[in-house]
Chains A and B, each alone.
Chain A
Amino acid sequence: MKNISEINAYVAHRKDITERLKKTLIQKLMLQLDETELDNDTPLFGLGLNLDSIDTLEILVGVEEEFGISITDEDIAAFRSINTVVDCILEKTSQQNSNRVEE
């Protein structure tokens, strides 16, 4: 990203992905929260949201359904916070898009 307009476009895209992810998490995990009550860097496990391994599966399924991507065992390491999951989604969707262009 070189200029402010590129940065603004990136932020708008990231914001959209983040809001969709938050809605998915709240719905899948039946959290008694709204999206504005979830900080993007809050740890998903341990202190913070204190989720467990069953929740991980729910998140994984939810992310695959909502964003049309496939999550591998290696990708699970990225499931540390909402922001790190968004990083993973952005990388996966970018890879998918470049694969489509090549095809």
Chain B
Amino acid sequence: MSVKASELISSLAYEIVRKKVGLFDLSDVGVFKISGSHAETFLNRLCGADISYQKEEKTINTVFCNEKGEIVFIGWILKEEESFSLHVDSEKREFAKKWISQQKKAEKNSDLEISDLSEEKACLSLVGPLAQKIMLTLFGEDILGLPYLGIEKNTKVLATESLVCRYGYTGEYEYRLFFEKERKSDFIDLIESVGANDGLGKPDRKILDLLMLEMKSINQNIDLSPTMTPLQAGLHWMLNFRKDQFIGKEALVRQKEEGTYSKLVMLLSSEDSVFEPGAKIFLDDSTSIGTLIHPSYSPTLKQSIALGLIVADYAWPGIPVNIQDKDKKSCQFNTVSAPVFITQSILSARD
């Protein structure tokens, strides 16, 4: 009997994060301090965003590309009083460290310093419709005014200096707390006690991959091929084409002007079948228009959900397609607009 896509999803983990709140330990993220009189110029040359006007209370989520405009990694830049912090996902930590160190070599006559603080910092993430309620209990009312990508420094909790960042890649309330690693168990105990009556759980963090997929938030560890550009991934908002220069800008301007690049598109199917990434996407029996990148199953929609890389002419919502694997198993999907639904957190924020 064939396996169904829905059977591969942990429905308990999903319910915790979509209906209550999940606590995730992300302490293996990369945290780098970049300092020196040329730190801003250096980072601005590397990333797609313009950090010249960055405020200290905001983090910038941006993309780092090579000369061909292909994404090398996605990161978050935080402005400190006299330096910058660069945060990257755990999977990209060593790569990013090596890459920015190589870029540093190109800086001549510079007092630029890059320090790896990853082993010193812990990072916990609270995600779900009740995450804001728990953060409110812990950090007070200031948390209510924290915008997306907003930052708040705090010493109220456990008399420890911590940094709270608000994210939003799952469509739910989503906060990350950074603090000294030695206080990690104290923070976990405190959060668990505060969240006990709200159904706080500690699901496997793999569930975040599905929640991000449902919102079409790009997961750099799953959704990007080595040659994919920010324009193909729909990450236009992480770029500033008005900035004088950044690595990959010329290639991206060319791609933007030509406009004929394939794009990541959301796909839905009422059939509950398992497909592997790499399966082909067909418009009819013989016209191949793309490749399946990230298949899964959405418990909210009760449908198979996927990201596919589709040629520009058909990278539009509302098109019926067939996905076919190497064994010729096929299934009908439709390209759809994203995000595919409104989450409980967004609905409660609107009320």
Query: What is A's interface to B at a CB cutoff of 8 Å?
Result: 1, 3-4, 7-8, 10-11, 14-15, 32, 36-43, 45-50, 77, 80-81, 83-84, 86-87
Taking a contact as CB atoms under 8 Å apart, the answer to whether A47 and B235 are in contact is no
Distance in Å: Cβ of B166 to nearest Cβ of chain A? 10
Distance in Å: Cβ of B62 to nearest Cβ of chain A? 12
> Quick one: which of B148, B242, B320, B337 contacts A32, CB cutoff 8 A?
B242
> Quick one: which of B284, B317, B339 contacts A80, CB cutoff 8 A?
B339
Taking a contact as CB atoms under 8 Å apart, the answer to whether B236 and A39 are in contact is yes
> Quick one: which of A4, A42, A87 contacts B236, CB cutoff 8 A?
A42
Chain A residues positioned under 8 Å from B317 (CB to CB): 14, 83, 86-87
Query: What is B's interface to A at a CB cutoff of 8 Å?
Result: 61, 147-149, 167-169, 215-217, 231, 234-237, 239, 241-242, 256-257, 259, 266, 283-284, 287, 313-314, 316-320, 337-339, 342, 346
Distance in Å: Cβ of B135 to nearest Cβ of chain A? 17
Tell which of B167, B237, B241 has the most Cβ of chain A within 10 Å.
B237
Distance in Å: Cβ of A66 to nearest Cβ of chain B? 19
Distance in Å: Cβ of A86 to nearest Cβ of chain B? 7
Chain B residues positioned under 8 Å from A46 (CB to CB): 148, 168, 346
Taking a contact as CB atoms under 8 Å apart, the answer to whether B168 and A11 are in contact is no
Majority SS at the chain A contact face:
mixed
* Least CB separation from B337: chain A residue: A83
Closest 9 pairs between A and B when the two form their complex, measured CB to CB: A83-B337, A39-B234, A41-B338, A39-B236, A84-B337, A46-B168, A36-B256, A47-B168, A46-B148
Taking a contact as CB atoms under 8 Å apart, the answer to whether A80 and B316 are in contact is no
Taking a contact as CB atoms under 8 Å apart, the answer to whether A47 and B167 are in contact is yes
In Å, the complex CA distance between A81 and B340 comes to 10
Chain A residues positioned under 8 Å from B314 (CB to CB): 7, 11
In Å, the complex CA distance between A46 and B119 comes to 31
Taking a contact as CB atoms under 8 Å apart, the answer to whether B236 and A47 are in contact is no
Distance in Å: Cβ of A23 to nearest Cβ of chain B? 15
> Quick one: which of B147, B237, B266, B287 contacts A4, CB cutoff 8 A?
B287
Distance in Å: Cβ of B59 to nearest Cβ of chain A? 11
